[in-house]
Amino acid sequence: MENSNSYGIRIGILCLFMGMFLLLSSVSAENRKYPTGNVNLAPFEQWRSAYFCLLNTSPVCSKNHTLTMSGWLNVTHDEGKIFCQKGGCADYTIGVLGCIRHVKRDFWFANKAKVQHIYDTIDIGCYSLQGFNGTSLYPTQN
């Protein structure tokens, strides 16, 4: 009788652990579609969330005008008017930069540009007579 009791307890504990495993195996803490909802406790998670911000693409922007890890806005002077239209690529890029700023304040791109440099590039390109020149602002070495 004691053997059947201990056997039943073992089966019950095994079923409990299997149930917990099945419930927890489908839980994911990161949100790839809306990275600002991620809990960013570690620097690595902040970098991942910033990368997920860049992965959100817009149907409005061509591949050339989509911001990537390189930090290069490939917008020429002639393309500037289309890029800066209300609801266009400039607005989308500003949204991506806002997402990046929310998840990782000290983010920098491959060309060492920070989020503020890209904001400034868009500001100069869209709202000044200078316009775009095919490059992005980035820090220069002294």
Per-residue pLDDT tens for 42-86?
A: 888 889 889 999 998 888 888 888 999 998 888 888 888 999 999
CB 18 within 8 A of CB 33: no
Return all residues near 92 (Cβ < 8 A) that are at least 6 apart.
Answer: 58, 60, 61
The reported pTM is 0.72
pLDDT 10s digits, 88-101: 899 999 999 999 99
CB 74 within 8 A of CB 65: yes
